[in-house]
Each structure stands twice: as C-alpha cells, then as structure tokens.
Structure 1
C-alpha cells in the first residue's frame, strides 16, 4: 500500500510578473494552469522516488478530473480510492512577483464529503497495509477523526500536512498524536502564540525543545526558507539542517516537497536529520521549476530500502 496520503486536489492558476509587481496596476507576465493541492503534491513527490503511494481524494467529474487521475497513474500513484464527483477539486488563483514570491491569492476549497465516504467504505483495507499516513490536518474534522481512529487501530504513524494553520491550531489534540509535525517558521509562531519571524535557526533551536514538551508533541521540524530547517524531539535532541542554494523560480510547493521527504525518511527508518536531508533535496528541486514537482529519483539515491 505504501504511504497513504489523504487530502485535496486543486487546480492552480498562477500568474508570474516579469518585472517588479505593481499592486492595483497592470503587470505583464505569464499565466499557467497546473494540477496542485498540498496532498496531491505530496502524493506525486513520494511517487517520484518510486515508492508507490496511495492517494485518498476526489476530483471533478469531468475531463479535467480525468486528467488529474491519469497523470497520477503515470507517476505510479495508486488512485483506486479516488472519487469523481461534482466540486471534487478546489481552485487556487495566485500572483507571483518577479522573484517568485506570492503577492496575492484566492482559494476555493472543494467538497470534503466524498473523502469521508471513501474512509467509511474502505477504511480497513486502506489502513491495515499502509506504511504510514499523511493527512491534511486542517481538512474536515470528521475525516481527521476517522483517520486517527483507523491509524491507531492498525498501529500506523500519522504525519500532519498543513495548508491552513489557522484551522490547524484548533486541532492540537490531533497534532499531539502525530509521529512528527512539520510546518514553517510563521506557522510555528502561530501554533505557540509567539513571533518567530526574525529568529535565526540557532535561536529557534534553543527554544523549541521547551515548546514541544509543553505542547506534548513528540517530534517537530520547522522550515526556515533559505536558512534551512530546525528539528527537535521531546527528549531534547535538536539540530539544524542547512538550506541548499538554488536559483528560485517559484517557492510554492517547496514546503510540500520538504514534508514529503521528511515523511518518507521517517517512514522508512531514517533519523530526523536524515529525513530533513531528503526533504531539503526535494524542496530544492521544486523551487527551480514552475511545475511544483520534483524530478524522478530511485529510492537508493536516498539510502532507502522497503
């Protein structure tokens, strides 16, 4: 079954300004439309290391939905638990400045009921053979509850994806039950009600052990853009993994790729530091492309065996 990924498919409509972005002005640039969504990105990134994940999601009941499924199949993602329904996919409209950073966006979320139905109908067969579970923690609460119920029934580790931290902080009880919580610097500040925006990796590494013990989180990784990432566990072990210098085209999807690497590493027996190394490498490849996906690798390139 591989790693089971639960969450949404989005269609991303992305506009790139060719010169410094002018709010409320006309900006010459390029516009592309690609398959997106945090969970879909993660499923594809895992598949790009030939690990054959299973994706639990929904798509629109039309040609665009068919296209999403066929592309995932080509990447060797197991799609038999995906549903084709009306309003199965979300839409993300985003504008980027000439440096690749998002300056404006609007998001329309999909209907989550089909995913809950999939779990009701196939939960046991999905979870009993899973290597681990990756779920968007801010999705519909009933889906999150059922995921943790099945994961605990079959003794599977759960890794929490974040697409909306404002919702995720309301799920602290579930975050405590994850095998590792991965988020960015700003999201960590929201979680702990503090301002981490101007901290260095060393400063954040100094305070995180205290914070995760208080929050009863077993392991946590915080990404810090070009400064790398900070990892910590509840026993007080902490470290900093440096970022990789790359030519930035588009920063979106980098966090999803990093999460994918951490999830892969920890699922298949790597340490937190080793998992961050895998995540950093995947994130660096995504930043260099407008497609939000990493190139294909073999598991052996990361020292992975199944």
Structure 2
C-alpha cells in the first residue's frame, strides 16, 4: 500500500494580479484552474518521489472527477479506494497579489460521508499493509476516529496535518496519538493559545519542546516561511532547518509538500532533521510555479529505501 493518504480533493480556481493588488478595485491578471486539496496535493507529492502511495478520497462523478483520477494514476498513485460520487470534491476560489500571497478566498467543502464509507468497507485491507498513514486531522471526527482505530489495530504510525486549525484544536486527543504533527507558525499559536509572530525560530524551538511535553504530543514541526522550520520531539531533539532561497510565484501547496517530505522521511527511517530537509526541498520546488507542481524525484536522491 505504501503511505496511505486520507483527505480531500478540491478544484482550485486561482486569480493572479500582474500589478500591485488594489482591494475593492479592478485588477488585471491571469486565472488558472488546477487540481488541489490538501490530501490530493500530499498524495501527488509523495508519488513524485516514486513511492506509489494509496489515496482514500472521493471525486465528483463527472469528467472533472475522472480527470483527477487519471492524473493520479499517471503519477502511480493507487486510486482503487477513491469513489466517484455527487459532491465528492470541494472548490477553492482564491485571489493572489503580485507577490504570490493570498489576499482573499472562498471554499466549498465536499461531502465527507463517502470517505467514511470507504473506511467502513475496506478499512482492514487498506491499513494492514500500509507503510504509514497521513491524514487531514480536521476531517469529520468519525473519519479521524476510525483512522486511529485501524492504525492502532495494525500498529501503523499516523502523521497529521491541518487545513482548518479551528477544527483541529478540538482534536487534541487525536494529536496525542500522532507520530508527528506538522503546521505553520500561526496554527501553532492557535493550538497553544499563544502569539508566536515575533518569536525567533530558536526561541520557538525551546517553547515548543515545553508545549508538546505538556500536551503529550510525540513530535511536532512548525514551518516559519523564509525563516525555515522548527522541529521538536518529546525526547529533547530540537532544532531549526533553514529555508532554501527561491523566487516565489505562489505559496499554495508549499505546506502540503513540506508535510509530504516529513512524512516520507520519518516513514522510511530518517531522523526528524533529515525529514525536514526532504520537506524543505519538496516545498521549495512547489512555490516556483503557479501550478504548484512538484518535480519527479527518485527515492535514492533522498537516501530512501522502502
């Protein structure tokens, strides 16, 4: 099964201003429509390291949904546990300024009952041969609950990321069961009810070590944009992995790519710092294109063996 990813598919409609963005005004630019969604992004990023992951998700029962599946198949993603159904995928409408930052967005979430149905029908066969499991921790609670139940049954490690932190903070009991939780600086502040905006990476590493021990979270990685990523584990391993300097076109999907690298590294035997190095390399390639496409790599480039 490789790494099993449980999450959403979205269609992203993105508008880019070609000059300084004027709020409430008319802005000339370009508009693109691409396949998105946190889960879909992660499974494709993992597949781009030739690791053949499995995706548990749903798409719309139309030509657009079929196109999503065909593309994932081409990337060697196992799509046998994807359903084609009504309202199977969401939509994200976003506007970016000339520096590649989001200035406004609206999203429509998909119907998650289909993912729960897939777990009910195929949970044992999906989890028993998985190398590890990656999940959006803010999916419907019953999906998250069943995921951790199957993971415990088959002794599989679960890696968690988030797309809506306001939901994720209600899942602290599940965060305690994760092998590693990955989020950004703002999300970490929400989780621990603190403001980390003006905290240095080195100071944040010290703070997070205390916080995860108190919250009984095993490992945590927090991304800080161009300041790099802070990593900590409950045994005292902590540090800062520097960001790579690249020309930023669009930051969408960078966090998903970083998470994918961390999940890949930890699943296949790397240290937390080495896993952050893989995540940093993957995320740096994604932000250099408006399509958020991670190039293809071979596992050997990261010293990986399955």
| Secondary structure, counterpart of 1:284 in structure 2 | helix
CA-to-partner distance for each residue in 1:224-265, whole Å, 9 max, x for gaps?
001100000011211110000000000010000000000000
Structure 2 Cα separation of the partners of residues 304 and 82 of structure 1: 27
CA-to-partner distance for each residue in 1:79-101, whole Å, 9 max, x for gaps?
00000000001000000000000
Structure 2 Cα separation of the partners of residues 76 and 237 of structure 1: 35
Structure 1 Cα separation of the partners of residues 150 and 246 of structure 2: 40
Please name the residue that 1:59 is paired with: 59
Q: Is the 8 A contact 1:250 1:287 kept in 2?
A: yes
Please name the residue that 2:269 is paired with: 269
Structure 2 gaps, min length 5: none
Structure 1 Cα separation of the partners of residues 74 and 161 of structure 2: 24
After the TM superposition, which residues 194-233 of structure 1 pair with which residues of structure 2 at under 5 Å, given as runs? 194-233=194-233
Structure 2 Cα separation of the partners of residues 245 and 253 of structure 1: 17
Structure 2 Cα separation of the partners of residues 237 and 207 of structure 1: 13
Please name the residue that 1:70 is paired with: 70
Structure 1 Cα separation of the partners of residues 161 and 214 of structure 2: 21
Please name the residue that 1:38 is paired with: 38
Q: Is the 8 A contact 1:19 1:98 kept in 2?
A: yes
| Secondary structure, counterpart of 2:19 in structure 1 | coil
| Secondary structure, counterpart of 1:156 in structure 2 | coil
**Aligned-pair distance for 1:65?**
0.3
Structure 2 Cα separation of the partners of residues 98 and 57 of structure 1: 33
Q: Runs of at least 4 residues of structure 1 off by over 4 A? A: none
| Secondary structure, counterpart of 1:58 in structure 2 | strand
| Secondary structure, counterpart of 1:120 in structure 2 | helix
Structure 2 Cα separation of the partners of residues 21 and 202 of structure 1: 34
| Secondary structure, counterpart of 1:181 in structure 2 | strand
Please name the residue that 1:16 is paired with: 16
Please name the residue that 2:96 is paired with: 96
Q: Is the 8 A contact 1:257 1:293 kept in 2?
A: no
| Secondary structure, counterpart of 1:122 in structure 2 | helix
Structure 2 Cα separation of the partners of residues 270 and 293 of structure 1: 24
**Aligned-pair distance for 1:162?**
0.4
**Aligned-pair distance for 1:293?**
2.3
Q: Is the 8 A contact 1:162 1:183 kept in 2?
A: yes
**Aligned-pair distance for 1:206?**
1.8
**Aligned-pair distance for 1:161?**
1.7
Structure 1 Cα separation of the partners of residues 236 and 211 of structure 2: 11
| Secondary structure, counterpart of 1:57 in structure 2 | strand
Please name the residue that 2:4 is paired with: 4
* TM-score, normalised via structure 1 length: 0.99
Please name the residue that 1:301 is paired with: 301
| Secondary structure, counterpart of 1:49 in structure 2 | coil
**Aligned-pair distance for 1:146?**
0.3
RMSD: 0.5
Structure 1 Cα separation of the partners of residues 105 and 120 of structure 2: 34
Structure 1 Cα separation of the partners of residues 223 and 4 of structure 2: 23
Please name the residue that 2:289 is paired with: 289
Please name the residue that 1:247 is paired with: 247
Q: Is the 8 A contact 1:39 1:161 kept in 2?
A: no
| Number of aligned residue pairs | 306
| Secondary structure, counterpart of 1:281 in structure 2 | helix
Structure 1 gaps, min length 5: none
| Secondary structure, counterpart of 1:125 in structure 2 | helix
* TM-score, normalised via structure 2 length: 0.99
